[in-house]
Homo-oligomer: A and B are copies of this chain.
Amino acid sequence: MSNQELVVLDQTGETGACCPGLLTAPLDEGQAVELAKVFKALGDPVRLRLLSMIASRAGGEVCVCDLTPAFDLSQPTISHHLKLLRQAGLIDCERRGTWVYYWLLPEMTDRLAGILTRPAGDPLPAPAEAAGAAS
């Protein structure tokens, strides 16, 4: 269906595979607004469980009819959560006959993993005195 939000985020990234670089340079406001939408979509237990059920399915896609029974929630509520994941660019779907089938868009989870990964060889940033005080 729509990849509109994914395209918007593409424009804020420096390269295709990588990232604004959350840990290496201050995000500008536009980058932060776009990224926050994706993290907000992940900030709900039902949506995280739905995403993990979709992402871990061996065949690569899941019928909504196989997702709903795992939750004590109505079909419209599940569909709403799936819509938010789709609008964030994390999953996509297609209707085939009676049912809608969902699959992961791994480009987005790859991107999030990339921006949360420290540069290779980057030392732990906490100074020794601060780390000591925190324990």
Contact = CB atoms under 8 A, between A and B. Distances in A.
Contacts of A94: 130, 133-134
Interface residues of A, number: 58
Interface string A112-127: 1110111000001111
A130 B61 CA distance: 8
A105 B3 CA distance: 33
B106 A112 contact: no
A68 B129 CA distance: 24
Contacts of A27: 48-49, 52
Nearest to A47: B36
Number of copies: 2
A8 interface: no
Interface string A44-85: 111111011101110111000000001000000000000000
Interface string A1-24: 101000000000000000001111
Given A22-B51, A42-B39, A127 B103 contact: yes
Interface of A: 1, 3, 21-27, 29, 32-33, 35-37, 39-49, 51-53, 55-57, 59-61, 70, 92, 94, 101, 103-106, 109-110, 112-114, 116-118, 124-127, 130, 133-134
